[in-house]
Structure 1
């Protein structure tokens, strides 16, 4: 049986997965809402052979991949060209120093999230599950309904594509690269990618993915790969008001109909 407590417990994990899959908060909330409808419709099929979170993740991944054309897809070459064409300049003194740092962090997280959108949808989902959330290959293969060996191969390809791009483009990885967060933030604001009055990623959060993840994959051998992974794992873990979400979800007309059956 689905109740408010269950929704409030697992919604943060589903929302944080959704946000990294689709980038925009509104799309992430819509995706999690659709996932909960699927969960409620199919809860009778949950056999408890795996954790509820694993089962819910599998529903979200399947739904996302089936609806992938709804969501933004970027490409590495065009993404690099866009960033390289932005003027390098420092933020003006109209912002005080603490707020400047917040804006730079917004630019950094937004840019890194944009890089995820350059992976094809399956690669993106596999890298988020396997590297950023560090869910081990036994559970990850169950989420994607593929063999452990196939999951590891797909993860390796996704990791290589993203990490090679970052190594050639991002100064967080290679300091020789010219694309630096603090020098691109002003241009990102001017182009409308960042709204100082309505920030997408740094407005409110209480934790990081690194502190929240509970399962670990096999340790990575290469120090450089650990650096890429740590950058993403230090991104915020968002805690929306789950009580409001649960209340609105349980008022949903589709869900009311399911409960009435």
Structure 2
């Protein structure tokens, strides 16, 4: 997150509408990225991000500068993601065993190539990479996202989650161990011996509606190609393959049309 100046925050706290809008613009993409990696579902992530941004703006007067503004903003976001009952109710309750069984169902050994296969493979790779984190509970999921994806150090991640550094390290270690164990045996991008690989899985994913040719939720032609990502992962050694895979998920931009809606709710100019 690009640093938001203390002067801008003070102006926003004093009710300066332009400053409030600048704060919103400065944090929106980061809050959306966090929500997407924790929730995986784009609709849920959009809704959660809108709620987080409104919470940040309505709670802005309570920010006292005792930590970095980014730490405070991520704390507000994390508390919402952990505490919102509707998000917990919508969580699919996946486990790594269930996800593995699903991935290994309906595989096609040598599927015919489609004209748009490269883009479809990227869509499948991204959605599957995000979905595997749903096999972690919310506490371990957030610890993993903050540490291994967003690259917060242990002290700041612990401050965001309002736990001790020792407890944070334990959560991250457990989450990391589980994700690595899964990808090293069940993800064809990471492991050559895994039953599932994206090309074999694609026909079943299309049939199940998880990848839609006319409505790609994550992939577009501006991103590194599927083959480029696979090649990058192959250059890594051991556990770094899993880390490279998870960090290869593109960071989404918060939709500008939704920014206008939030601006209306909090009476910002737009």
TM-score (norm 1): 0.84
Shift of 1:246: 2.4
Q: Distance in 1 between matches of 2:54 and 2:154?
A: 27
Residue 70 of structure 1 and its aligned partner are, at CA, apart by 3.1
Measured in 1, the distance between the counterparts of 2:106 and 2:26 equals 41
Classify the secondary structure of the residue corresponding to 1:135: coil
Match of 1:171 among 188, 201, 215: 188
Give the aligned CA root-mean-square deviation in angstroms.
2.0
160, 174, 177: which one aligns with 1:143: 160
For the residue of structure 1 that corresponds to 2:191, the secondary structure is coil
Counterpart of 1:18 (choices 32, 35, 53) is 35
Secondary structure class of the residue paired with 1:30: helix
Residue in 2 aligned with 1:69?
Answer: 88
Q: Is the 8 A contact 1:205 1:239 kept in 2?
A: no
Cα distance between partner residues in 1 of 2:221 and 2:118: 15
Distance change (3 Å), C-alpha of 1:61 and 1:11: same
Q: Does 1:48 align with 2:65?
A: yes
The match for 2:248 is: 234
CA contact (8 A) 2:107 2:196 kept: no
Moved beyond 3 Å, runs of 4+: 89-93, 203-207
Alignment of 1:31-42 (within 5 A): 31-42=48-59
Q: Distance in 1 between matches of 2:64 and 2:32?
A: 24
Give secondary structure in 2 for the equivalent of 1:86: coil
Aligned CA distance change for structure 1 residues 164 and 50 (closer, same or farther; 3 Å): same
Structure 1 residue 12: Cα displacement: 0.5
The offset of 1:90, in angstroms, is 4.7
Note the residue ranges of structure 1 that are not aligned, 5 or more in a row: 208-221
The answer to whether residue 255 in structure 2 is matched with residue 249 in structure 1 is no
For the residue of structure 1 that corresponds to 2:59, the secondary structure is helix
**Deviation by residue 1:61-87 (Cα, 9 ceiling, x = unmatched):** 111111242332311111111111122
Q: Contact 1:89 / 1:187 at 8 angstroms: preserved in 2?
A: no
Q: Take 2:112 and 2:147, find their aligned partners in 1: how far apart are those partners?
A: 40
Question: Does 2:95 correspond to 1:81?
Answer: no
- Name the CA distance, whole Å, in 1 between partners of 2:101 and 2:182: 12
Query: What secondary structure is seen at the aligned counterpart in 2 of 1:85?
Result: coil
Question: Which residue of structure 1 lines up, in the alignment, with residue 4 of structure 2?
Answer: none
The unaligned stretches of length 5 or more in structure 2 are 1-11, 13-18, 225-235
Instruction: Report deviation, 1:91.
Output: 4.9
TM-score when scaled to structure 2? 0.82
Instruction: Please give the alpha-carbon distance, in whole angstroms, between the structure 1 residues aligned to 2:29 and 2:184.
Output: 31
**Cα distance change of structure 1 residues 240 and 33 upon mapping to structure 2, 3 Å threshold:** closer
Change over 3 Å in CA distance of 1:174–1:136 after alignment to 2? same
1:128 and 2:145 are equivalent in the alignment: yes
CA contact (8 A) 2:119 2:221 kept: no
